[in-house]
Amino acid sequence: MAIVKRGGRSKAKQQAPPTKSGIKKAEFEFHKKKEVGVSDLTLLTKITDEAINENLQKRFMNDTIYTYIGHVLISVNPFRDLGIYTTSTLNEYKGRNRLEVPPHVFAIAESMYYNLKSYGDNQCVIISGESGAGKTEAAKQIMQYIAYVSVDDQAGANSEGISKIKDMVLATNPLLESFGCAKTLRNNNSSRHGKYLEIYFDPSTYHPSAAHITNYLLEKQRIVSQITNERNFHIFYQFTKNCPPQYQQAYGIQGPESYIYTSAARCIDVDGINDSKDFNDTLKAMQIIGLTQDEQDNIFRVLASILWIGNISFVEDENGNAIPRDESVTNFVAYLLNVEPVILKTAFVQRVMQTSHGMRRGSTYHVPLNIVQATAVRDALAKGLYNNLFDWIVERVNLSLKNTDVSSERKSIGILDIYGFEIFEHNSFEQICINYVNEKLQQIFIQLTLKAEQDEYVQEQIKWTPINYFNNKVVCDLIEAMKPHPGLFAALNDSVKTAHADSDAADQVFAQRLSMVGANNSHFEDRRGKFIIKHYAGDVTYDVAGMTDKNKDAMLRDLLEVLSTSTNGFVSKVLFPPELLASLTDSKKRPESASDKIKRSANLLVDTLSQCQPSYIRTIKPNQTKRPKEYDNHQVLHQVKYLGLKENVRIRRAGFAYRTTFEKFVQRFYLLSPKTGYAGDYIWTGDDISAVKEILRSCFIPESEFQLGTTKVFIKTPETLFGLEDMRDKYWHNMAARIQRAWRRYLKRKEDAAKTMQRAWKNKTHGNQFEQLRDYGNSLLKGQKERRRLSMLGSRAFMGDYLGCNDSSGYGRYILNQIGIQQKIIFSGNGEILVSKFGRSSKRLPRIFLLDKSNLYVIAQVLVDKRLQLQKEFVVPVSSINYVGLSTYQDNWVAVSLHSPTPTTPDLFINLDLKSELVTHLKKLNPGLTIKIGPTVSYQKKPGKYHTIKFEISNAANVPRNSDLYKSGTVTVRQGLPATGKNPKKPRGPPSKVDFSKYYNRGKTMKASNSYQTHNLRSQHTYNGSQGTSPAASSAVYGNSRIHKPAPASLNQTQTYPEPTVPTAPQQTSNQKPVPPRPVKKTAPAPPAKKNVAPPPPPPPPSLSAKPKFPTYKAAYDFQGTGSGSELPISKDTVVYITRKEASGWWLAKTLDEKSEGWVPAAYVVECDPPSGATSKPSSSQAEEPASNSASKTANDQYSSPSQPSNANANGLSNGLAEALKAKKTEEATLAGSLADALKKRKGAAIESEDEEEAEDDDDW
């Protein structure tokens, strides 16, 4: 599986292979149960029916009922509620791909909805299995999931309409279950009809907009008769047990035991079915769908009519003809149907026949019926009423679910819930129709998963190993074929034509034609009055008797004529429209038979499913007793075989999980390659197949994971496909994350800039508290302990919490959480402790030291169960410390001696780099603490037993340079720095050498703006503050407010110079003021360029002494400077040395006594002869001054009074009153401008630092 990589700017970065695996970091999943068996049967080591059955049994007994075969879901009915269809479970599968979550029906539903939105393909799910295997429940859960996620994703003004569609779609479940499901021997909620629900979605938003239900072959025979211990349709029991009072009086409704149609099978109540609750759900569903109260009244009126029709019975009269036993029942049925009682009674006991052949053609005869015939007419009326009522309910639901405003290009998800394969003791016409539809569904499964897969591989020229499989097309042709050999349905229709008046004669003709139907078909056997069809699910024996009569599927003309006289328009115009009677009277057109209807419906269903991208759920019934935790291996193994699960596993292992055209693949994934997509746009100029190759190469998909056909790309494993989808999702996530990161970085810089300014101001006004604490700590040593080189740094400050214990996260916070300290930490650091054991020499062991207001903690790292843990070794109260002992050398040892040590809290002898800081904090917390410094240190190894540590100096090779050596109570350390040394001032950080204006327009604009403001303000200040100077000099303001310095111009020209600020190191290609080197060796500068300046006053006569080592220059004007330590303020007529000249216009000057050095503008000085005494050399003590002292002195000179230049000038000029006044004026001007210049300088440095950070942290886009 490929990984998500970040696009780079260079070609080398783009093509670099991944350095990490694509496996995600493992996380413990609390909700996930331990895996039992394998979740996908393609992972089995052996592919056999027995291995599949064994794996299913293991998972079933562990309450894991779902298993995959690739994208096919296997479901085993648990016969109980496992609590796996809750809202929380539904949310776990929302937006997740199939392999991220355990197998579930919600995963199939999520995959369907995702493919609909992502690829725009119509979806359907085919749920197959025998009766009682859980098909209806699976269909309900898919509807529930799709309705939930599709409406939950929506937002906008149309949310009310979308929710209404969702509620109506879900309401179809209880309504159609009540009217179309019944309790059978195999299933308490068996679907006795087929239903294909299509949910339509708006292609622009993929919100549900409409729906449509197609009904297939209602089992009408169940209305009038059921097998023992089975029930009629649920609605009859719901209605009779919980009938509203208004219907009880108007329709005479009594309990279900009062009606023949509901009590003959001796099963009124069913375990697990609450008829009262279900009836309330049915009434609520009617209201949601939009059935009016009048329509509901008519529905229940027809149901009452059917119940009372079943109570009509017949007896023989004196002629042997049938007459009603109780005419009051017949009259009440006539009342319910709104027809005349006499007409209804006549229709039951007489049949009107009209001759169509012979000399008496057109004659009408009234033929009396016997009891059997009259009972058949009664049952035909009940079946016709219920069948047409059910069809009308489906049409009425479709009318409510219809949306006329939806575009014709709408997308759909179809859910097929149809009866399963049936094998009973006596199988008739209903079973052959049901099994025929299941054969068609099996044929679709074979075509779309097995045969179509192999055919596509051959067509696309993909390397493939053929798999042998059983094609059941031969069984389908046996039932539905017309040519060359007529099938069973054709033989039934011919038999009805031949002997349409006599059902028994028609059955005999059909039995004779069976020998012709299966003459050349090995899947058919004729058994005299019975026949056997070898279905894919097993051999089924069918009875011939009654098949032709059931195939007619037409009400008697007499009954239609009676119903047409009804004054109830719902009966005479809605359920039985006039066109129905007209079709029977039309002798030129044969009425459509039941076999014709089921054949047409099945083929239309197949065509509809073939136009969708199918998903499959294969349901399995574990036992016949409908008991939980009971698994019948023989029965399940039989279902595994006839469902063809083994062949499905084999072909799935050898096939490819995903395939699509090159164009669709590129459209979907071109963002994953920087060569095909840039900023969301498609930039590839080649053909589609080359783009596919580039995308796969950029995603590092191995060649074994895909193949390229002639028009399609084939991905072998679903992990690869999900990896590509995950990379595509993260592409957009990364773009958003980059924008968020840039914005957060911008806000962070603003915050840091504000903090920097606040910190600088606090340091300027109140001083640096950490440096002040350092100086206090140094004073505690009283110059008695040698110093280490790192302790003498100017940047050394006592910061305290070096491990970050006070931070919200990180290692320091981890330490506090482990040992349970809640107080604020004053000091934290790593060090060592000297541990002595009996009979062995002392040993230095690493420890962590923490100090809060109350205690000093010594933390040890110990192994517990082979895991490293932190534990408190010692807790020393600060108030119990008597003294701390230090040596006079530069070692890091310190002894902590207590007033009353104990075995659990002894004296400590610790080695810590930051010992002086620890002692300082202890002194702050315990003012009575004594600090002992001497050549030896004593502490109590055990209570009352003092041990003395000796210290000595040695430069031997075995002594560490930056540490010490402990052995046998003696510490050996190298010579340190003098104990009286002091820390110099904190050095300035190096300025940036990058001109960010080349890369950022914002920075350039800010510089220009600052330069303009600085020029106006500072030039005015210079002019007003420089009295007595020339106009050219008064207008000279130096440099940009930043770091750039213009080249000097002639003094004869009117030119302004920006005021100098923090100088930087010189560069040959940029006009920048160099930083004066600290104590580095000076080199002779190049000869100065000729300057066109006003002639200075005549210099004194040249001395006859030796030539000076540097050329001398005199200041033509006062240069006050900006207060920067790198500049040298000088007064007019001051003579200085020029040691280095830069092309930027800044020269490095040094006073004649060589005590001060700094940069001056070249335009302010002119060359002159050296004054008398300038050739004298500095004293040897000055030349041999140490570098550290020189740096400290330079730092002090930076903040000294600007009167120093006047003092330097006094060495060459007289100390008259005029010079004193000049020095006073220079001092006042410098003090007046120092604060403003410092703020401006800080502002420029902050801007520069911000630009530098922006360039360093800029993301790679």
Question: Which residue has better confidence, 1191 or 859?
Answer: 859
132 is catalytic: yes
Instruction: Tell whether residue 34 is among the known ligand binding residues.
Output: no
**Residues 251 and 235: beta-carbon distance below 8 Å:** no
pLDDT score recorded for residue 204: 81
Residue 1112 in any domain: the answer is yes
Same domain, 1155 and 1126: yes
Q: Which residues contact 1151 (CB under 8 A, 6 or more apart)?
A: 1128, 1136, 1137, 1157, 1204, 1205, 1208, 1211
CA-to-CA dists, residue 272 to 188, 280, 622, angstroms: 8, 16, 18
Among the ranges given (55-69, 494-508, 608-622), the one the predictor scored with the smallest mean pLDDT: 494-508
Instruction: Tell whether residue 561 is among the known ligand binding residues.
Output: no
Helix (H) or strand (E) holding 947: strand 945-953
pLDDT exceeds 80 at position 1: no
Among the ranges given (7-11, 979-983, 1130-1134), the one the predictor scored with the smallest mean pLDDT: 7-11
pLDDT score recorded for residue 157: 44
**pLDDT tens, residue by residue, 882-924:** 999 999 999 999 999 999 988 888 899 999 999 999 999 999 9
- DSSP state, residue 1130: B
pLDDT score recorded for residue 1244: 53
The HSE-up count of residue 819 (CA atoms within 13 Å, CB side) is 23
CATH value at residue 588: 1.20.58.530
pLDDT (mean) for 1006-1035: 40
Distance in angstroms (rounded) separating the CA atoms of residues 1157 and 675: 59
For strand 658-661 and strand 181-182, is the pairing parallel, antiparallel, or unpaired? unpaired
pLDDT exceeds 70 at position 524: yes
131 is catalytic: yes
pLDDT (mean) for 511-515: 85
pLDDT score recorded for residue 153: 55
Going by pLDDT thresholds of 50, 70 and 90, the confidence category of residue 420 is: confident
pLDDT score recorded for residue 723: 86
Query: Reduced to 3 states, what is the DSSP secondary structure of residue 665?
Result: helix
Among the ranges given (34-38, 187-191, 1249-1253), the one the predictor scored with the smallest mean pLDDT: 1249-1253
The number of beta carbons lying within 10 Å of the beta carbon of residue 925 is 19
Same domain, 751 and 784: no
Going by pLDDT thresholds of 50, 70 and 90, the confidence category of residue 136 is: confident
Query: Reduced to 3 states, what is the DSSP secondary structure of residue 581?
Result: helix
pLDDT score recorded for residue 503: 73
Q: Which residue among 187, 262, 983, 1209 is the active-site one?
A: 187
Residue 129 in any domain: the answer is no
The number of domains in the chain is: 4
Going by pLDDT thresholds of 50, 70 and 90, the confidence category of residue 754 is: very high
Same domain, 775 and 753: no
Same domain, 743 and 781: no
Distance in angstroms (rounded) separating the CA atoms of residues 156 and 145: 21
1157 is catalytic: no
Instruction: Tell whether residue 625 is among the known ligand binding residues.
Output: no
pLDDT score recorded for residue 620: 94
pLDDT score recorded for residue 362: 60
Count Cβ atoms within 10 A of the Cβ of residue 844 and give its class: 0-12 exposed, 13-18 middle, 19 or more buried. middle
Q: Render 500-569 in DSSP notation, one character per residue.
A: SS-HHHHHHHHHHHHHHHTTT-TTEEE-SSEEEEEETTEEEEEE-TTHHHHHH----HHHHHHHHT-S-H
Q: Which residue among 150, 184, 188, 191 is the active-site one?
A: 191
Same domain, 1020 and 1129: yes
Between helix 159-180 and helix 371-401 the angle, nearest 10°, is 170
Q: Which residue among 53, 122, 128, 131 is the active-site one?
A: 131
Q: Which residue among 37, 70, 132, 709 is the active-site one?
A: 132
pLDDT score recorded for residue 897: 93
Q: What percent of the chain has pLDDT over 70?
A: 76
pLDDT exceeds 90 at position 1125: no
Distance in angstroms (rounded) separating the CA atoms of residues 415 and 126: 7
Instruction: Tell whether residue 131 is among the known ligand binding residues.
Output: yes
Nearest alpha carbon to residue 1132 among 1037, 1021, 1225, 1045? 1225
**pLDDT tens, residue by residue, 267-280:** 999 988 999 999 99
pLDDT score recorded for residue 854: 93
Instruction: Tell whether residue 156 is among the known ligand binding residues.
Output: no
Instruction: Tell whether residue 133 is among the known ligand binding residues.
Output: yes
- DSSP state, residue 122: -
pLDDT exceeds 90 at position 328: yes
pLDDT exceeds 70 at position 1029: no
Dihedral sign, Cα of residue 481, residue 487, residue 493, residue 499? positive
Among the ranges given (12-26, 129-143, 909-923, 949-963), the one the predictor scored with the smallest mean pLDDT: 12-26
Residue 649 in any domain: the answer is no
Q: Which residue among 230, 422, 917, 1254 is the active-site one?
A: 422
Residue 174 in any domain: the answer is no
Going by pLDDT thresholds of 50, 70 and 90, the confidence category of residue 832 is: very high
Same domain, 866 and 881: yes
**pLDDT tens, residue by residue, 549-570:** 888 766 778 888 899 999 999 9
Same domain, 1090 and 1002: yes
Conformational region of residue 960, where left means phi above 0, alpha means psi within -120 to 50, and beta covers everything else? beta
Nearest alpha carbon to residue 416 among 615, 596, 167, 179? 615
1026 is catalytic: no
CATH value at residue 715: 3.30.70.1590
pLDDT (mean) for 20-39: 51
Question: Which residue has better confidence, 1116 or 1242?
Answer: 1116
Residue 198 in any domain: the answer is no
Same domain, 751 and 875: no
Looking at 575, 592, 610, the residue that finishes a domain is: 610
Q: Which residue among 67, 136, 1139, 1156 is the active-site one?
A: 136
Going by pLDDT thresholds of 50, 70 and 90, the confidence category of residue 1095 is: low
Distance in angstroms (rounded) separating the CA atoms of residues 784 and 787: 9
Same domain, 495 and 517: yes
Distance in angstroms (rounded) separating the CA atoms of residues 907 and 1062: 53
Q: Which residues contact 1232 (CB under 8 A, 6 or more apart)?
A: 1025
Helix boundaries (H) for 25-84: 49-61
Among the ranges given (89-98, 174-183, 277-286, 920-929), the one the predictor scored with the smallest mean pLDDT: 89-98
Among the ranges given (34-38, 136-140, 520-524), the one the predictor scored with the smallest mean pLDDT: 34-38
pLDDT (mean) for 1126-1141: 88
438 is catalytic: no
Distance in angstroms (rounded) separating the CA atoms of residues 929 and 939: 15
Peptide bond preceding 18 in cis form (omega within 30 of 0): no
Structural domain boundaries, residue 1043: 996-1256
Instruction: Tell whether residue 22 is among the known ligand binding residues.
Output: no
Question: Which residue has better confidence, 467 or 5?
Answer: 467
Same domain, 1065 and 1090: yes
358 is catalytic: no
Among the ranges given (479-483, 689-693, 1050-1054), the one the predictor scored with the smallest mean pLDDT: 1050-1054
Residue 261 in any domain: the answer is no
Chain-centroid distance, C-alpha 1067: 51
Going by pLDDT thresholds of 50, 70 and 90, the confidence category of residue 1042 is: very low
Chain-centroid distance, C-alpha 1073: 54
pLDDT score recorded for residue 1219: 54
CATH value at residue 781: 2.30.29.30
191 is catalytic: yes
Q: How many residues does the chain have?
A: 1261
Residue 21 in any domain: the answer is no
Going by pLDDT thresholds of 50, 70 and 90, the confidence category of residue 41 is: confident
pLDDT (mean) for 170-198: 88
187 is catalytic: yes
Same domain, 1210 and 1117: yes
Same domain, 1038 and 1065: yes
User: Pseudo-torsion of CA 336, 340, 345, 346, nearest 10°?
Assistant: -140
Helix boundaries (H) for 846-992: 915-925
pLDDT exceeds 60 at position 1234: no
Going by pLDDT thresholds of 50, 70 and 90, the confidence category of residue 255 is: very high
pLDDT exceeds 80 at position 1089: no
Q: Which residue among 75, 122, 190, 503 is the active-site one?
A: 190
pLDDT (mean) for 793-813: 90
Looking at 739, 766, 793, the residue that finishes a domain is: 766
Find residue 68's DSSP bridge partners. 40, 73
pLDDT exceeds 50 at position 865: yes
Q: Which residue among 420, 709, 976, 1121 is the active-site one?
A: 420
Instruction: Tell whether residue 134 is among the known ligand binding residues.
Output: yes
Tokens of 669: 């994934």
Among the ranges given (42-46, 378-382, 511-515), the one the predictor scored with the smallest mean pLDDT: 42-46
* Max Cα-Cα span within the chain: 172
Conformational region of residue 1148, where left means phi above 0, alpha means psi within -120 to 50, and beta covers everything else? beta
pLDDT score recorded for residue 96: 85
Residue 969 in any domain: the answer is no
Looking at 876, 905, 929, the residue that finishes a domain is: 929
Going by pLDDT thresholds of 50, 70 and 90, the confidence category of residue 502 is: low
Place of tokens 């169509």: 356
Q: Mean pLDDT across the chain, nearest whole number? A: 78
